[in-house]
Amino acid sequence: AAPTGHIPFTPRAKKVLELSLREALQLGHNYIGTEHILLGLIREGEGVAAQVLQKLGADLNRVRQQVIQLLSGYPAPREIPWRPVELAISAAQEEAEENDETEVASEHLLLALLRDKESLAARMLGEFGVTEGRVRRLLEDIRSGRTLGSRPRAWTASDDEPDGPWVEAPVDQDVTTEPDKDDEEDAGSSSGS
């Protein structure tokens, strides 16, 4: 296992962070805050985190609009607030470690945002009924195969990859892709193409 703080990110989680930067730049911000990570999760739109948000009833477009509207009323900070993002990334790595994952995936980023109840991201998600407890319960259901798919299977961070079993399918339908062939082996390998 990787030492604490050195867990790699899945390609999808890296994309979320890249989109967070783009969101900040488009808004004219000279920093990345937890709110930008939330916008990145929403903009990416296909990871487990986005599907969890939708399953919990959060309309991604409405959440996005609300965050942008709220940010437009905030003055630019005098000091660049890196600490909340550092804490969120560290918390995402802790989430992955606590679940014996080898990579940080989008759902770990979502949980990290929700851990800091005072963050703009957590407060905004709370307005849509998305809480850390509800997300954790839904992720447990996903891991045990009770939702987002019809059959129990091993669930790992690699499920958050672009080729994972829940990509590009409506949340209310069976979103598994193919029958079990080599499912367990593929889940353990996170090297991707």
Kindly state whether residue 1 falls inside one of the protein's structural domains. no
Kindly state whether residue 146 falls inside one of the protein's structural domains. yes
Contact between residue 139 and residue 52 where contact means Cβ atoms under 8 Å apart: yes
Tell me which residue has tokens 């969101």: 23
Contact between residue 31 and residue 81 where contact means Cβ atoms under 8 Å apart: yes
Q: Domain with 139 in it: what CATH number?
A: 1.10.1780.10
Domain count, the chain: 1
Residue 39 is predicted with a pLDDT of 93
Kindly state whether residue 166 falls inside one of the protein's structural domains. yes
3-class state of residue 28 by DSSP? coil
Kindly state whether residue 163 falls inside one of the protein's structural domains. yes
Backbone dihedral angles phi then psi of residue 104, each to the nearest 5 degrees = -85, 125
Span 14-28, mean pLDDT? Answer: 90
Beta bridge partners of 104: 9
Q: Residue 19 is encoded by which pair of tokens? A: 């989109």
- Residue 167: give the domain boundaries: 11-188
Kindly state whether residue 142 falls inside one of the protein's structural domains. yes
Kindly state whether residue 6 falls inside one of the protein's structural domains. no
Kindly state whether residue 2 falls inside one of the protein's structural domains. no
Q: What is the percentage of the chain residues whose pLDDT exceeds 70?
A: 67
Residue 77 buriedness (CB in 10 A; 0-12 / 13-18 / 19+): exposed
Q: If you average pLDDT over every residue of the chain, what do you get? A: 73
Kindly state whether residue 45 falls inside one of the protein's structural domains. yes
Q: Does residue 52 or residue 180 have the better pLDDT?
A: 52
Contact between residue 104 and residue 8 where contact means Cβ atoms under 8 Å apart: yes
Span 183-193, mean pLDDT? Answer: 40
